[in-house]
Structures are given as C-alpha cells and as structure tokens.
Chain A
Amino acid sequence: MTVSDAPVIEAHGLSKTFGQVAALRDVSLTVSPGEIVVLLGLSGSGKTTLLRHLNGLETPTDGRLRVLGEDMAALRGGDLRRLRGRIGMVFQQFHLVGRLTVLENVLTGALAGLRGPRLGIASYPREHRRRALTQLDRVGLLDKSYQRADTLSGGQQQRVAIARALMQQPEILLADEPVASLDPESSDQVMSLLQEIAAERQLTVICSLHQVEIALAWGRRIVGMRSGSVVLDTPAADLTREAAMRIYGRVAASLAEAK
C-alpha cells in the first residue's frame, strides 16, 4: 500500500445512540481512495446515520473516526467546514431550496470557499457561475438553469443535487438512498450518472441503498447493515442475490427491530 493509498475513511468501533435507541453499534469500516462502496440494508438499519457521521453532521457517542486523514472528533468550526467542503453529499429527498433557481442551488455548493452570506445569483463571483453552469451541462440540465428548483421532476432535482455536490469538487461523494424517491427510469439515469462521474473524477463513493438488484449491479463492494451493525463486507462479485437477500432476513430482522 503506497502513501496515496492511505484510507480516506477509517472508522473503529463507531456507536451512536439517540436517547434509548442505538442507531449504530460498534461499526468499523475502512475505505480506500477510489472505492465504490454500497451500504445495503433496510430502512432503520443505520445507513443514513453512518453517512451523516462521515461529514460530521452527527457526532458519535463512542468510537474513533478519521476522514481524509482528519480526526473528526477534534474538528470544530472552520476546520470542520473546510473538511465538509471536500465531501459532497446527495440526499434521498434531494434537499434543494425549492424557491431558488436551479443555478443558485448549484452555486450553494461553493459556499465553503466563499466568505459571507450570499443571496441571489449575482452575489456569486462570475467564475463560480461559469463553473456551476458547466456542472449543470454535465448533468444535462443546462437549459433549466434559471427555473425554480421546485418546478423540476424528482429525477431532474436529484441531478441538480449531484451538480451541487460536484460544484464542491469533492474527494468523497456520499449518497444517501439517492434513488429511493424516484421512478425506475429516473433511477437508472441517476445511478449511471453517479457511476460515470465517479469514474471520470476517480471519486470515492459511498452510497446507501435498500434495493438488492441495484446494489449488486452497481457497487464494487457491498457493506450490509442490520440494526446498526455491519453484518457483511464483501466484494460485490462474490455475492449472490440469495446471499444478499439473506442480509435482509426479512421476517426475522423486522421482528428483531420491533423488539
């Protein structure tokens, strides 16, 4: 392993409890640069919580976490924001600001590198506007640039959200159930877009999914989660559909979670 291959994410014994509920139990995970990892599991299995730890939106109750070589526990304020600037994130519900134009939504991806609040497209430097439009062209939505974001379809909104993440020029891309709210066709478009972009920019991608088929078709490495624990970590090639389904252990798992 060379120096440049130092892991981008190292989690050891990560635990998180919300009140009485354990969302993560003793999770350990190491991800190398350029890896494409799928977190597979039912809703409530801890995938979202794990992703939200990776960019510091949550802080662990216990355990150690290093992201891009930084110790997350030690990061505060400006340092934490600078790290977040290096990590793009795409959400299940897109999370665009509906009343803003598509272009301004993409521009918000550049906020980490700018000083002071911005309101309106004109408040961003020309340089940034050009770069944002380029990202929009990349995701095929250049002609929607000046429309309000909430006038777009779900699939288009998710592509705008991807453009926003790309605007950050990220080293890691986190995707939290990026296609769970989309129809199959938009879902295919979004997944192949993510795949192309990951290949073009040699991004490290960590994507949570609950659909076994998409996970097997898409990921190189599958990390299965259940009730907050990692129950499987294997190259996708070694995993059969049957084995993957077993992670779900549908009935047993849901009963266990009900308790």
Chain B
Amino acid sequence: MSGQMSTEVDLERLVKRPGPAASTVVAAGLLVALLTFAIWSLIQVGFTVETFTESAGKVGPFLDRMLPLEFPPAAELLRSIGVTLGVVLCGTVLSAVLSVPIAYISARNTSPARWLVPVGRSIGVVARAVPDVVLAMLFVLLFSLGSLPGILAIALHSIGMISKLFADAIEQIDEGPRHAIRSTGASPAQEFWSGVFPQVLPSWIATTLHRGDINLRGSVLLGYAGIIGLGYDLRLALESLNYHLAMALALVIFGLCVLFEIASTVIRAQLLGVAPSGVSLGSRLARRLSPDTSHSAFENQGFEGRVDAAMRRPWTPDRIKSTASIILAAVVVVAAVIGSEAKWLDLFSFWSQIPFLLDRTWPPSIEPRTWTNVFDALLVTLQIAAAATLLSLAVSLLIGPLAARNAAPNKPVRLTARLLLLVIRSIPELILAIVLIIITGLGPQAGTLALAVVGVGLLGKLIADSLEEAPPGPQLAVHSVGGTRTQVFFSATARLSVPALVGHTLYLFDSNIRSATVLGIVAAGGIGYYLIDATRVSRYDQVTAFVIVLVTAVVVVEGISAVVRRALR
C-alpha cells in the first residue's frame, strides 16, 4: 500500500502540469473583462428587484386598457398575414441563395484564395451589423412603397447570419469525401457540389429555417419603415393609442411565430435524420413502410436485366418523402412570392435612384450631435446588451440542461423545458418591449428585460442542443466505469459542451447589441434611438454616420469573440 502511494507521488512529481498557453490567458482575461462589464452594466441600467415589484402594480391598469381585444376584419387580417409571411419567406430564401457564394469564399477550406476569406467574413459582419429596419428605411427611398424594400432588407441583413453559420459548417465537414472526389480528378466546383454541399445541406436548410423564425419575429419592426403587413398595422394601432387592436395584433403575431417555430422544429428534426425508433403509432408505421433490404430487388435476373431493372429508381418511402418535401417547398416559395404582393419589376428600375440615395447619405455627419453624445448612446446600447446577456445566461444555465435529452432527469421535465423555451423564443422581442414599456414606462430597463427574456429562449435552446450534440463516446465511457447520471453530466457531457456554451453566449451578446440598437425605436434609448430619430427627420447623412459607429462596435465585439473561441477550440 505504502509502496503504491510513493509511486503515485513520484509520478506526480515526474509529470508537471504544463503552464497555460498564451492564447488561453488572453481568452480568460477577455472573458473576465466581459463578465465584469456585464455586471457593471446590470448595475448601471438600474436593474433592481424593486423595478419588478413596482411594475407588477401597473399590470392591472394595463390589462384594463387592452381588454377586450379587438381583432380586425378576417379578410383584412388574412391579407396582412399573407403579406407578412410572404415578405419573410421571400427575404429568407433569397438570402439563403445569396449566402452560398459568400460562404464558399468565407470558409477557409473552400475559399479559392486566402485573401478572399476575410473579404467574405467581412461582408457577413457588415450585413449582420446593419439592422434590417435601417436597410428597409434606406430601400424605401429607392422603391415605390410596398413590400419589396422589406424583402431586400431581410435578404441582405440575413446574409450575415446564414453565410457565417454556413461557412462554419463548411469548415467542419469531413474532408475525406472531398479529397476522394478531388482524387478522381474533379474540378473545384464539382468537388464543392458533390463533396461539400451534400454534407452541409441539412445545416444550410436548418440555418435558413432558424433565420426564418428570427425574421418573422423581426418583421414587426419593418412596419416602422413603412413596409405593409402585420407590423405596419400594429404600428398604426399603437400610434392611435388603440391598445385593444394593438394587443389583438400582437397576439396574432405571437401565434404566427409559435406556429412557424413548431413547423421549423419539426422539419429540422426530420433533417437531422432521427430514425423511427419510438413505439408511437407514427414510428411503427414508418418502420412498416421502410424497404426491406434483406433481399435483393434485382436478383433472379440475368446481368443485363439486373442493370436494366436498376436503371429505374424504385419509389421507396424515403424517395416519396424527399420528392414530396421538394414539391412542398417549391409550392411554399411560389405562394410566398405571390403572397408578398411585392412589385418585383421595381428590381429593374430602381438603379436610376441610386445616385439620389448616395447624395442623401454621403458624406456622413453627426451634426448637430457631438461625439460625446454618440459614445454615451453607444455605451447605453452596449450596457443593455451586456446586462441582458448576463441575465439570459444565468437563467439558461438552469433551463438548458433540463431541456437536453442526455441531461434532463426525466421526459416530462425535458418536454416542459423544451416547450417553455419554444414559447419564450416565439415572443417577438419588440412586442415584449412594447408591452413592458407600456407597463413600466420608458427606459433601458424595459429593453434589457425584453432582451433578457427572449435571450433565454435562444440561449437555453442552444445550450440544450449542444449538450445533445456532445459526442456519445466519452459519455458512454464515464457511464460504463460506473458513473451516475450526474457524474456523466459533469465529467463528460458538460465538459464537452463548454466551448459551445461560451461561443453561444458571445453570439447572444453580438445579437443583443443589434437588438438593443433596434429597440431604440421603441425609445429604449441608446444609439438605436439616434438612428431612428435621424430617419424620422430624413437626415440620412446621420444614418450613415451612426451605422458606421455601430458596425465598428459590432466588429470589435466579434473580434473579441473570435479570439476567445479560437483559444477554447
């Protein structure tokens, strides 16, 4: 026994723990700095327990003002729903298509030239940094009013997220098949479409659907840029202080978001190829219909006959399903193109308006505001974003694991947590902010709370997903040495997901900066308020200046995230 002990001591002395790498130190320092900033922001924003209790008293009068709900006539409502869905779908699909070449040059492993990688990534960053509502306000100058500026705004802004996630997916592919296809003598384009694209297709569709969710929630705001649809109706109702109508519309938008979210979740689950293994009626049916591959369909025929028979692809359930999906997707896109009521022909005529737009937006100017004003406003925006992210993180760390298949204590808890996240995620932050502002009054607290709540929906889901995606091997290993569920979670599952957790939190911070800006429209304060104010008085030179400030801020934060994430990889 003592001999064994001394061996252990010797071993420990023999193997010194290496010091941390420089990149790890930098990343840790940045994380601590961000955390400190977030805590300070929380205090600065004036977020205290009293704010909650004070506001609670105002809920009663608020309910009085909005009840009974007053819905618009059915035909009018349906048309608005159609336009809203059409604009969102057209914009998102257009964006997904435009994102393919940008992702191709942004991914380190497919980019034709090394210098194109930062170019592609920068296009994404800029697209992400400029809020779609700002783009819409600029495009409205170019087009006759209608929905086309909204579609283009969504399309250009969404390139930011879709091309980034798509490029990341391309960088994570299995390089083997690609090398195999290269070694058959395929050209780079053939290599991409045969070896890379099939691997990232599910991720591309999932990202696009996810972006569709976000765009539907964000579409409310497009009403403020004059884009017709539910958002526009809501804005008119709010401006005429008709809260009965406004809350009815808010409820419709909320319902649409929930339905869209459910549809996209179901489709994404299908795409990830979950095999029908359950005991439900659906899985049993699916198994029964699956082809029996134990015997050959082409045997008992001569060689020529066998190959001839094989030339006709059999209609297996899988093929029926994929063909039906393609047809359905095509129908939805066509319906969206028609439903959006966009004047597509304007796409050919707007070019002549561009000099006029340039003239209005260039050179940038912040007059009559001062740089001190601008930086104070930027700081408020950053504080709202940081405080909201911190609040979201704290709550998500509790709910996320409860929603993950491999961490939740049991199925009812998991399903409840998933449902909760789904409902939270479906709340358009703008509507939440409006409600909170009506309840609590103007100010950054309302904005922070709105972002924090919506952030839980996103971050909680991402945490749950990354826990579920943790490779099963190490978890199984801890399990098989006799680890309890809790031990498996802390020794394997959670450890494997830490880089993803940090990455997702930083992503939420990024996205909160943009949302905090946009919330300026409902007078939550910050740089967004300046931006919206400038468009209201048609000072587009100010818009340009503030957009440049905002893009710079977002780029700096993105740079910090990139450094941290690289160190954690």
Contact = CB atoms under 8 A, between A and B. Distances in A.
A98 B198 CA distance: 8
Given A95-B177, A143-B293, A111 B184 contact: yes
Contacts of B177: 95-98
A1 B397 CA distance: 74
A76 to B, nearest CB: 13
A144 interface: yes
Contacts of B198: 97, 99-100, 119
B314 A84 contact: no
A146 B194 contact: no
Contacts of B193: 117-119
A112 B184 CA distance: 6
A82 interface: yes
B319 to A, nearest CB: 7
Contacts of A82: 185
A190 to B, nearest CB: 16
Given A95-B179, A143-B293, A143-B296, A81 B186 contact: yes
A145 interface: yes
A191 B181 CA distance: 22
B199 A99 contact: yes
A117 B298 contact: no
A209 interface: no
A112 B311 contact: no
A78 to B, nearest CB: 8
A200 to B, nearest CB: 15
B179 A112 contact: no
B352 interface: no
Contacts of B293: 143-144, 147
A111 B311 contact: no
B176 A91 contact: yes
A181 to B, nearest CB: 12
| B180, B193, B295 pick with most chain A CB within 10 angstroms | B180
Contact of A109 (B184, B195, B197): B184
Interface in B164-205: 174, 176-177, 179-187, 189-190, 192-195, 197-199, 201-202
A55 B186 CA distance: 12
Interface stretch (B81-89, B134-142, B299-307): B299-307
Interface string A75-105: 0000001111111110101111111100010
A220 interface: no
A182 interface: no
Contacts of B313: 121, 146
B119 interface: no
Interface stretch (A127-135, A238-246, A247-255): A127-135
A97 B199 contact: yes
Nearest to A167: B184
Interface residues of B, number: 39
Contacts of A165: 184
A125 interface: no
A164 interface: yes
A118 B190 contact: yes
Contact of A142 (B186, B296, B316): B296
A55 B183 contact: yes
A152 to B, nearest CB: 10
A142 B189 contact: no
Contacts of A97: 177, 181, 194-195, 198-199
Contacts of A87: 183
A164 B194 CA distance: 13
A91 B183 CA distance: 11
A108 B182 contact: no
B185 A84 contact: yes
Contact of A119 (B184, B185, B194, B295): B194
A97 B180 CA distance: 9
Interface in A5-45: none
Nearest to B307: A133
Contacts of A145: 310
Interface of B: 174, 176-177, 179-187, 189-190, 192-195, 197-199, 201-202, 293, 295-299, 303, 306-307, 310-311, 313-314, 316, 318-319
Interface of A: 55, 57, 81-89, 91, 93-100, 104, 108-112, 114, 116-119, 121, 126, 129-130, 133-134, 136-137, 142-148, 161, 164-165, 167-168
Q: Closest 5 interchain pairs by CB? A: A112-B185, A85-B185, A117-B193, A84-B185, A143-B296
Given A98-B199, A99-B201, 8 more contacts: A81-B186, A86-B185, A99-B199, A108-B184, A116-B190, A119-B194, A133-B307, A168-B184
